[in-house]
Amino acid sequence: MPRPAELLRFAAAERWVHRVTAVLMGVCLVTAAILYVGPLAQAIGYRAIVEWVHVIAGLSLPVPLIVGLLSKALRDDVSRLNRFTPSDWKWLRSKDFRATRSEVGKFNAGQKLNANFQLGAILVMMLTGSVMRFANHWPISWRTGATFVHDWAAYAILAVVVGHIYMALRDPHALAGMRTGHVPTSWAAREHALWAAENGVDEPAPARRVAR
């Protein structure tokens, strides 16, 4: 059977969920910086409006994902991201990810960690952010605790988002996969061998032989 030149990696629904979530997360990070970093706050001002935008963007963060769950493709990928196989632990422990490449499914362990971290982070930020914003409804000290968590978690999210973008920019095919939905079959066979096999691409890509 001739190999198709490209495989469909992400359905339109998934790409839109990713896009809208990314924009909302970007708005949260930028407004957070304006609220938090003195010189930026000084240069921009409009604190009440910036705060309002930050809260609205933050509370909206899970909406695209929830709407997207109507899509079967997205539900399938959510369940793939949820499951860690023994190969994933091997991947995480390995120094050279190439060594475990042939055992990678649609998502590698790093991508699974990123996705789950972001979901957990969104929920934690919404929880602590709500305690901060609607402070009068909670007992004394909760707001301080929530601020403490919100502040430190923001730095963790910033680090992971920067890492995520850095990894994507290093791999044009991965980037195009999220932008257009399609990836070259040879790339899939190399980077996500088991997923390529699921799609009827059995033979290892030539590039992988070279790498070995």
Which residues would be at the binding site for another protein (CB under 8 A)?
Answer: 36-39, 41-42, 44-48, 79-88, 102-103, 105-107, 112-113, 115-117, 119-121, 123-124, 127-128, 131, 135-136, 138-149, 151-153, 155, 193-195, 197-198, 202
Q: How far is the CB of 156 from another protein (least distance, A)?
A: 10
30: Cβ contacts below 8 Å, ≥ 6 apart? none
Q: Which is nearer to another protein, 16 or 117 (CB)?
A: 117
Q: Which is nearer to another protein, 79 or 170 (CB)?
A: 79
Q: Which is nearer to another protein, 3 or 179 (CB)?
A: 3
**DSSP codes, 118-158:** HHHHHHHHHHHHHHHHTGGGS-TTHHHHHHHHHHHHHHHHH
Determine the Cα–Cα distance for residues 197 and 208; give it in Å rounded to an integer.
14
Determine the Cα–Cα distance for residues 38 and 49; give it in Å rounded to an integer.
17
Tokens, residue 33:
């910086």
Q: Which is nearer to another protein, 52 or 170 (CB)?
A: 52
Q: How far is the CB of 17 from another protein (least distance, A)?
A: 16
- How far are the Cα atoms of 23, 149, 152 from residue 53, in angstroms, in the given order? 13, 20, 21
Determine the Cα–Cα distance for residues 155 and 75; give it in Å rounded to an integer.
29
For 71: left if phi > 0, alpha if psi spans -120 to 50, otherwise beta; the answer is beta
Q: How far is the CB of 141 from another protein (least distance, A)?
A: 4
Q: Which is nearer to another protein, 21 or 128 (CB)?
A: 128
